[in-house]
Structure formats: structure tokens, C-alpha cells
Amino acid sequence: MTDKTQIIVTAATNMFAHYGYAKTTMGDIASEAGVARQTVYNAFTGKEEILRMVVHQVGKDTYTAVMEAWSKTDSIDEKLSIFQDFGPLKWFEAIRATPDWAELIDGMQNAASEVMATQDAQWRNAFATVLRTRATERPDVVDFFYSASLNAKYGVENVQHLRARLATIKNATLALLKA
């Protein structure tokens, strides 16, 4: 990504978070980025492509942060907590702070499903590596922890409720690894 493209993606991230996806215009993104609207169109075909790049960048940043934190511990318990803190909890708080958050999630599903599928495979491989020594014969544990952590947000009332649910998922995963 060029510096100018990165500035546009950062501006779009801010605008989507502040106004929501549907209400953010290409002009809003250009203004926030401090560039001409044509510059945004030269870099991206439209708002949907920008959203794909935002999802890609947020996923990449999260993965990098988690990998860095994981490199500082050998504890599986801590690694599971790190993922839940940097991933589902952080994403939940960011999305819920966004106006029209449900519409943003729909937009992400529609515009960035391929990006999210690629990131999903990357995370599953990372968890398979982390849990390999304990879950070699239980690949379902990787799927359980990852899928349950990502889906824990559904039906929760607030971040405390999500934290409690994620703690249950982590404890269940650790118990499965000991079984």
C-alpha cells in the first residue's frame, strides 16, 4: 500500500467508525484524508473496495499484534486470552461504538467476505500451530475455540456479558485440551 492509499484507508476507518458505512461518502473520506476526491477514486473504484481494504488492514493489524504478544509467552491460557482481547473483544467494542453498527457488519459481510475468509484461514492455521502439542489428535478443539470466540458476540447485551462468555469458551477449550 502506498502512503497515500494508507492515509485514505485510515481516513475511511475513522469515517466508518464515526458515521457508519452507509452515511459515509467518498467526499467525506477525501476530506478526512486531506486529498482531492479524485485522488480517492484514482486509488479505489468505490466505497466497497475501500471497506475491503479497511477490513484487510484491521485484520492484518490485529494478527500482527496478536503474534507479537504470543511471542512473549508460552502459556496456552495466555495465548487464548490474548486472541480474545485483541480480537473479539476489541472488535465488539469498536463495532458497537459505531452508529448503525448492524449495517456496518452487513456491509463487511457483503463487501469483504473474501478478505474475511482469507483471514479466517490464517487464524485457524495460527491456532493449529499454537495448540498443536496439545490438540494434535483433537483438531476440533481449534475449530471450537476459534468459531465460538468469534460467534460469542451474538446475543450479548454488553462487553461484560461478552467477557464472561469468552472466559467460558477459553475454560472449556483448556478443559478439552486436558481431556
Domain ranges of the chain: 48-178
- pLDDT digit string (tens) for 91-140? 888 888 877 776 777 777 778 889 889 999 999 889 888 877 655 566 78
Helices 3-19 and 26-33 cross at an angle (nearest 10°) of: 120
Kindly state the average pLDDT of the residues 24-50.
95
- For residue 77, the model assigns a pLDDT of 94
| Residue 40, pLDDT score | 96
pLDDT, residue 133, reads: 60
**CB count in 10 Å sphere of residue 168:** 12
CA–CA separation, 150 vs 159, rounded Å?
Answer: 14
DSSP class of 179:
-
